[in-house]
Amino acid sequence: MKIKPRTFSDYASIGFPAGMLMVFFVIPFGIMIAVSFFQRVQGAFYEPAFVFDNYARFLTSFFGGILGFSIGLAALVAVVSVLLAFPFTYILTRMARRTQVVWLVFLLSVLSLSEVLIGFGWSTLLSRTAGISNLLVAVGILDKPMSLSPSFGAVMTGMVYQTFPYTVLVLFPALSRLDPSLVEVARTLGSGPVRSFLNVVVPALRNSIVSTLIMVFVFALGCYLLPQLLGKPSHWTLSVLITDQAIYQSNMPFAAAMAVFLVLVSLSLVAISLLYGKKENAA
Amino acid sequence: MINTFILRLFLGTIALFMAAPLAVVAGVSFNERKSLSFPPEGFSLDWYAQIFTEDSWRSALFNSVGVAVGASSLAVVVAFPLAWFLWRFHAPWARIVQVLGLAPFILPPVITALGFLSFWTTAGAYGQAWTVVISHGIFFVTLPLVTLTLGFEAVDDSLVEAAATMGADDRTILRTIILPLILPYIISGMAFAFVLSLNEYIVAYMAVGFTVETLPIKIFNSLRYGYTPTMASVTVLFVAIAVVVFGLIARFGDLPRLLGAWRHDDDS
């Protein structure tokens, strides 16, 4: 059915999208890479140069600490999200279609929410005057209401809240395509629902789980506001630091160098996860 | 028996976790006085009215909606010919363009945002209101691209072949057969882009943060000076918009399929 494009008008249709993406995505990217080698000018913005200073700052212990924290936090968030979302999505795909759709609409709505609004929501929920600590006082666990944010726990909770719907949607295709007869066989042979889930469903989707973990990790690495809204400065991540350097410290070259670094990390991880996904499709 | 109970408990906990911050925000938005307290003291809809009556909130709302309409239209206009080309022609190199269309959504948003900041600064257009429409249009091109690709895959080849046999050219086939068939996918792709653009903060902030205030930017700026209940009412409004839009997509389309599910009986 598909044919090779031959005439000018065949190519014309892809010309516009290709041009737009070239001008407004590839070129900005190129400029950003160029800026990462530029020199910062105090009081002004930056000037063209070819220096490695901005990358050399990666070697400082301050930066190393932030990088280590960002990676650790994103990894923890990804593991918690997948641990919660995998059984949830499995149950979801076995629900009646109507219930499934209601859940999906709800999860999509939360996923589309601005990080600003999620941060605001959780800081309200964890606040002294309107938060859950009041509930704990009413039950008798706490003596008086207290503020639960900023704290590491608040950052974690907010980020898992944000990544959970994403994780469910990444897992959804693989789990809904899983052959139901696999589980039926296990059940017929006498294994309980939990055992057949752990011994049949989980191993069957091993590669999907790994690639989802990586996708969620990259997603969590991109989280730019929650650590700022729900955490202390010591909980800032690479994404927060990039925004801070670009906007508030007006140090575009350093921000750009960190962004280039973040791209390399993300891209190589996404490539690995695609490779894992392919394996499963081939099998 | 015990298993059903554990199952319900698990689902209930997840539902509670996902709903809790929204419920509290909805609660404080009904407070009568300008205080952050839950359960709400008194009942008032003033903070909802304020979104439309107070100038700064209203203009932020109009900015957001304007940007979202422009950006989602642009995203569709860019995605449509690309998805059509990928479906119609056999050209492996076109995959590169496809990957470029998918990349903005997979990479951390800060990177795209910073790219736009350096681009608009270099182009000398930094701070112009229209730059954020283009930035969002490119940033969200992934969504209509994905829905349209699914839409084209669902087109029955025999319809196209029949039309071609009867002498219809590409243009006629596109207008009379393909467009009506994939219209639902165009609309849902545009709706996804619209809702996400309304909510988007970092790209908008880096492109026009100091000249144009969208609602997320306004809320973030206000957060630094403390709490106002209008933030809560705006949050509720945004959740409501998302629920209505996604609810409509689910009502008139096949949401599980759009999200990548297929039923096993479909294969046979």
In a domain, residue B62? The reply is yes
Q: What is the pLDDT of residues B184-241, one digit of tens each?
A: 899 999 999 999 999 999 999 988 888 888 999 998 888 888 778 888 899 999 999 9
In a domain, residue A40? The reply is no
From B13's Cα to the closest Cα of chain A, the distance in A is: 11
Mean pLDDT (whole number) for A3-9: 79
CB contact under 8 A, A130 and B38: yes
Tell me how far apart the alpha carbons of residues A244 and B53 are, in angstroms, rounded to a whole number.
33
Residues of B in contact with A270 (CB under 8 A): 106
Mean pLDDT (whole number) for A151-162: 93
Q: How many domains is chain B built from? A: 1
The pLDDT assigned to B263 comes to 54
In a domain, residue A147? The reply is yes
Q: What is the pLDDT of residues B83-107, one digit of tens each?
A: 999 998 888 888 899 999 988 888 8
Q: What is the pLDDT of residues B137-156, one digit of tens each?
A: 999 999 999 999 988 988 88
Please check the confidence at residue B40 and state whether its pLDDT lies above 80: no
Is residue A62 within 8 angstroms of chain B, CB to CB?
Answer: no
User: Chain B interface, mutation test: which of A24, A100, A128, most B Cβ atoms within 10 Å?
Assistant: A24
**Which residues 113-172 of B have a C-beta within 8 angstroms of A?**
113-119, 121-122, 134-135, 138, 141, 157, 160-161
CB contact under 8 A, A31 and B119: yes
In a domain, residue A54? The reply is no
Range of the domain at A93: 61-282
In a domain, residue B104? The reply is yes
CB contact under 8 A, B115 and A25: yes
In a domain, residue A225? The reply is yes
Helix (H, G, I), strand (E, B) or coil at A39: strand
Q: How many domains is chain A built from? A: 1
In a domain, residue B173? The reply is yes
Please state the separation of Cα A15 from the chain's center in Å. Answer: 32
In a domain, residue B13? The reply is no
CATH number of domain containing A111: 1.10.3720.10
Helix (H) or strand (E) holding A63: helix A61-93
Q: Positive or negative, the Cα torsion across B2, B7, B12, B14?
A: positive
ipTM score: 0.87
B2 confidence band (pLDDT: 50, 70, 90): low
The pLDDT assigned to A201 comes to 83
Q: Positive or negative, the Cα torsion across B203, B207, B208, B210?
A: positive
Range of the domain at B176: 55-259
In a domain, residue B110? The reply is yes
Mean pLDDT of chain B: 87
Tell me how far apart the alpha carbons of residues B150 and B144 are, in angstroms, rounded to a whole number.
10
> How many CB atoms are closer than 10 A to CB B36?
20
